[in-house]
Amino acid sequence: MIKLTDRQKKILKAVEYRAAESLSVISEEIQIREHIVRYELQSMIKNGVISKQSAYINPFSIGLNNYTLYGSFDGYTAEQRDKFIKTITKHPQVSCVFLLGGNYDYSFTILAKSAQEAEEILRSISDKSEAGYVKRTISQQSKIVYFGMKHLSDQVKTKTYLKSFYRENLVKIDQLDSRILDLLSTEGLMPFQQIDRKLKIASGKSRRRILQLMEKEVISGLYHAVNHSALKYNKYKLLISAKHESPKLVEQLFEYCQKHPNIYKYIESLSTWSFELGIEVVSPEEFLPLLSEIQDKFRDYVLETTLLQIFTLLKYTPYIHSEKMLLYQKAA
């Protein structure tokens, strides 16, 4: 386990979702000299706390939806379990895979244009892995907000969030846009000249395209990807089923999540539950008071809460280029 110093925590909180911000601005805001900020960032990259700089891609903006399946390994042999995990992690339209503890043993998210397409992918995964879905529950997510690691330091105030949400006016992207998004998704940020070389395009072209994608909020932020497993923080998913979903509940719950230092993610979903919260605490003992507070504060609205512990993130690839999908289908 890597233990961060107070200074490193302060710097990490300030820069986490501001990878494009100049260090001179960060330095002035947190009152730490620029060369020290740079040194500490390099130290956290070297020791694996920061894995890379990356672009946060909003799939909803280009007509892709998030369908997350929660399931159990009940009745699986060890061989069936391993084959199933291998199948879902290799599928190009599966963007995210978690191993969990609690009512469900895993979850994985499919990027698809429709529920029908998502269902077809689920059938193909079941067929390829030769395994059925036990305790299957599907959540279609309509809004996702990442607040970041607010608990790191109460001396740093930041309102830079990563957001993706359903929108009616979709952005049209071409093959080059798609290739750029795929490269950023798999390899992270890199100098524009390097992107140009990798994609074999004219010098300066990737810069123009990326700026356009950011302006249109297809890329809704640039961030430092934190390797949470290196820090050994305890992470949970809290699934909240509401008695009735009033605008007042949505407003109050979002505001609560936005302010609470240990809630790093807020999701609105269409499922047997209405909300999914991402929670991170240093020790498990910190979680129970937070759960009790949520149940008490929203007792007039909350029907049921389901707690899942996040053990391992096996995959996170928020975009896939269509050519890779065709290659996968041909290989299958």
What is the model's pLDDT at position 41? 96
| Upper half-sphere CA count for residue 313 (Cβ side, 13 Å) | 17
Residues 6+ apart with CB under 8 A from 294: 238, 240, 256, 277, 302, 305
Distance CA 52, CA 30 (A): 22
Q: How far is CA 324 from CA 16, 177, 202, 240, in A?
A: 30, 14, 23, 36
- pLDDT bin (cut points 50, 70, 90) of residue 141 is very high
CA dist., res. 235 & res. 244, Å (int): 27
Least confident of 82-86, 172-176, 294-298, 325-329: 325-329
- What sign has the CA pseudo-torsion 71, 74, 75, 78? positive
Residue pair 267/275 in contact (Cβ under 8 Å)? The answer is yes
The type of residue at 32 is I
- Tell me the C-alpha distance between 173 and 151, whole Å: 37
CA–CA dist 332, 327 (Å, integer): 9
Q: If we measure between CA atoms, which residue out of 132, 122, 68, 126 comes closest to residue 96?
A: 68
pLDDT reported for residue 2:
87
**Cα-based distances in Å from 147 to 111, 139, 233, 262, 331:** 22, 21, 16, 10, 39
The whole-number average pLDDT for the span 172-192 is 93
Domain ranges of the chain: 172-215
Mean pLDDT on 294-304: 93
Q: Residue count of the chain, please give it.
A: 332
For the CA atoms of the chain, what is the radius of gyration? Answer: 20
Angle between helices 192-199 and 205-215 (to 10 degrees): 110
pLDDT tens-digit map of 59-104: 999 999 999 999 999 999 999 999 999 999 999 999 999 999 999 9
Percent residues over pLDDT 70 in the chain: 97
- Cα separation, 294 vs 256, whole angstroms: 9
Q: Which pLDDT band holds residue 12 (cuts at 50, 70, 90)?
A: very high
Task: Tell me what pLDDT residue 263 has.
Answer: 97
Query: Does position 13 have pLDDT exceeding 90, yes or no?
Result: yes
Q: Which residue has the tokens 């007509």?
A: 63
Q: What is the pLDDT of residues 309-325, one digit of tens each?
A: 999 999 999 888 766 66
Determine the Cα–Cα distance for residues 78 and 279; give it in Å rounded to an integer: 30
In this structure, of 188-192, 203-207, 228-232, 298-302, the range with the lowest mean pLDDT score is 228-232
Residue 245 in this model has a pLDDT that exceeds 90: no
Given a cut of 90, whether residue 47 has pLDDT beyond it is yes
Q: Encode 146-181: b = buried (16+ Cβ within 10 Å), e = exposed.
A: bbbbbbbbeebebebbbbbeeeeeebebeeebbbbb
pTM (2 d.p.): 0.93
pLDDT grade, residue 28 (50/70/90)?
very high
Fold of 172-215: Arc Repressor Mutant, subunit A (1.10.10)
List Cβ neighbours of 161 (8 Å cut-off, separation of 6 or more).
17, 145, 146, 147, 148, 221
